[in-house]
Structure formats: structure tokens, C-alpha cells
Structure 1
């Protein structure tokens, strides 16, 4: 049970597997007015940076679930490094269908809403773990500029223009599902750079160490094409944010 190996390779040096920076994660934690002892569930927790830093900075406790064995191991190591291993735990497993043993104060899925078949299904899944009046956190892409053609949308690695909404449309969609948007922290282009460009050095060093690996050709192709593709499409057209919601 694991994610495709290519992602474990290209993002092996990442602490955050989306365009949020450490400063943005800190801003989000402060904006949510987290209190010591609050319980957080993070489905698709990656390398655990959100849970670990919030445990350190705000005294929260929580559980993260992720399909990547590598990222889960990195999350456990990060918890030890930050001195919060007694307050957070990380489970290697499929977050789809995971329900906390006891109700939590914050239920999050930051950038992995495919686990519920989209935003609506993921919110339904998170609701099974959230106490009444608790906070949902959803991380989602949106169009910061509407691509002029389907080809441009596909250059952003979308299947089509219809894959994402504009920011006003995304916010409205939460209301249509019966949720109030009570906070949001949006990534910026610097955050995108740190997420995407950091992969390139990782790939180059991996290729130098693994020239005969079965994925060497795929990694080489990505390293050759990704800088121009990213600068042409994703950096200009795609936004990303974390949205705090409460059920109406």
C-alpha cells in the first residue's frame, strides 16, 4: 500500500506537499485560534508538518493518515525532532473511509479530496470524525486566472477547464453544500515555487545516484520539461488555498 513511486522520488525532500509555506501554515494555525489540547485529524497528512508544528506552537494533539510509507516515516521523525511525538501519531494507511476513534475539534483534508471522490464526499467523510461545532479544513486548487483554452488548462495538469473553479465559485460552492466559510489562507506564487521548483534539485540528485533505475527515464523527462511547463501554465493560472468551514 503506497502512492506511485514517482511522487516518493520527486517530493522526498519536501516537508510540505502542497504550495503552502511554513509561514502560511503558521498563519493558518494562528487564524484558526487553536487552543492547547485541541484534537486534530489530518487525512492525507504527508510528511506531517502541519500537525507537528501546530502541536509545537499551539499544544494541539492529533492523528495523521497517509498512503505514502516514506512520508509517514518522515512525519514520525519530524514529531520526534520537534519534541511532540507524545501528542501526535501518524498512521500509514488509506485515508479514504478513516474515522477517528473519538470526535475531534478540527478535521482536515489539505490537498487530497480525491479520498472522498471530491469536496462534497470528503466533507461527509470528515464529518464522521468531527464534533458538533468543529472546524473542517479543505485544501483545494482553483483558477486564479481562467485559462483561455482547454490546452492551457491541461498544461496546468488538469484534465479540463471544468476540473477547477475560480475562487469566487469555489467559495460559493461551499455555501451550496451547506457550509459557512470562516477562514482561508491562500498560497502565493512564491509558495508554488517552493513546492514545484524544489522537486527539480531532488530529481537531479536522484538521477545522479540512480542512473540505472527503472524510473530514471521518467524522472529525466520530468526534469527536462517541468520548469518551462510550470512557469508557462501552473504558476500563472492555478491558485491553491486552505479553507476553514463550519456546518450551517
Structure 2
């Protein structure tokens, strides 16, 4: 089992596979003030960008788990680049249902809450690995504005207007498992622009190198329409953020 190939092509040059950008993780780190030596479990860690950066900037240790066969190698290369190979490790495994062998100080899933069938389920999954008094970090989409019609719903990669809750609605859902929200760091339009536009460039470069590969026709058609769809719908209606939680 692996993630869809189109995803790995679009995000082949991404270090962080979500619209936080480079500055927002630093904001989150300063806000939470993690102590050096604390251990992080990062489920669906992608290329390890967030975990490696936390290890470098805050002296944390950690384990990243991801389903994609190619991402652990990219994550190890990033750890080498940042000089944190002695503090972090990466495992190729389905993060859904994964638990740490020992309780961790921070349990994170930043942008892949499908591993727990949504936000509340992912919170429960992360809790299984968390020590008392630890932090949960969850990245999740929300609705900035309500799509006015079916075209806007589908253009936002949703099936209905209710797919993305409002920010108050999402915070209420996170509250249901009995957690306190202690920090919110939302993506903004600029960081989202950078995240999505980088997908277009990676796709274009891949198409130039692989014009006859099997996914090429689909990705060519996607690239032709993606910028307009993004500007018209995705940039306007969905939001995205990272939420830090603690058990009550």
C-alpha cells in the first residue's frame, strides 16, 4: 500500500506537505516553548520537514511514520542536511493505528487526519501514545467562507458544504474528546499560495521529463485547469491550521 503517485509527483520538492510555509512552524515553536530532549511522535510525517526542524531549533528528539515509500529516504536526507540524524528516525509504515512503544511528550498529525477518519478520531489515535500532560498537534482544514454553489464546493475539493466545518465548528469538534485548545496557528493566503504553486512547478517539470509516463495525461489536464480553479475556489473558501491540544 502506498499514497497515490500523483501526490508524490506534485509534492516531490516540498519539505513540508501542508500550507504552513516556512515561518509558521517557527511561530508554533515559539508559542509552545518545547523543552529540549522531549520526544515527538509524528504520524504521517511526509518528508520529515517539521520533525527535523523541531529537532534542530528546539533540541527535540522524535520518530516519524509515513505510508509513502519514498518519503522516509527524503526525511533521512533532510535530517542529515540539518545535522539531526542522532535525534530523529523515520519508519515506512501506515500511520493509521500506529502507537508508540513508550509514551511521548508530543504526538502530532499535521495534515493527514484521514488516518483517524477525521479530527476527533485522530485525536484519539494520538492520545494512545501521549504521556499525561503532553501536547497533541493536529493539522486540519476548516471553512473560511461558505461555498455559494455546487461549482464552488467541487472546486474546493469537497463533496458538500459540510465537509469543512467553520473554525468555531472545528474547535467544538476538537473539544468533544475532552481536550483544551492551547494554541492555533492558521495558514494564510500567502503560505497557501506558495504551497499550491510549488505543486504546479513540480508537476510541470515532471511532465517535461516523463511525457509518456502513465500519469502524464491526467497530470497535464490537471495542470491546465488547476491555477484558475485555485484562484477561483480553493483560495477563497477553505482554510487550514494547526491546533495544539492538551487533555483536561
Calculate the TM-score normalised by the size of structure 1. Answer: 0.98
CA distance in 2, matches of 1:210, 1:150: 35
CA distance in 2, matches of 1:154, 1:245: 31
Cα deviation 1:169-213 (Å, max 9, x = unaligned):
111222233111000101000111111111111111111110110
What is the CA distance between 1:159 and its match in structure 2? 1.4
Contact 2:124–2:177 (CA<8 Å) still a contact in 1?
A: no
Cα deviation 1:26-62 (Å, max 9, x = unaligned):
1111111111001101101011111101100100000
CA distance in 1, matches of 2:216, 2:82: 34
CA distance in 2, matches of 1:138, 1:153: 24
CA distance in 2, matches of 1:124, 1:177: 8
TM superposition outliers: structure 1 runs of 4+ over 3 Å: none
2:43 counterpart residue number? 43
Structure 2 unmatched runs, 5+? none
Contact 2:119–2:173 (CA<8 Å) still a contact in 1?
A: no
What is the CA distance between 1:83 and its match in structure 2? 0.5
Structure 1 unmatched runs, 5+? none
2:220 counterpart residue number? 220
What is the CA distance between 1:151 and its match in structure 2? 2.9
Q: SS of the residue aligned with 2:162? A: helix
Q: SS of the residue aligned with 1:163? A: coil
2:89 counterpart residue number? 89
Matches within 5 A, 1:13-28: 13-28=13-28
CA distance in 2, matches of 1:176, 1:151: 32
Q: SS of the residue aligned with 1:94? A: coil
Q: How many residue pairs were aligned?
A: 248
1:165 counterpart residue number? 165
What is the CA distance between 1:150 and its match in structure 2? 3.4
CA distance in 1, matches of 2:232, 2:158: 14
What is the CA distance between 1:236 and its match in structure 2? 0.8
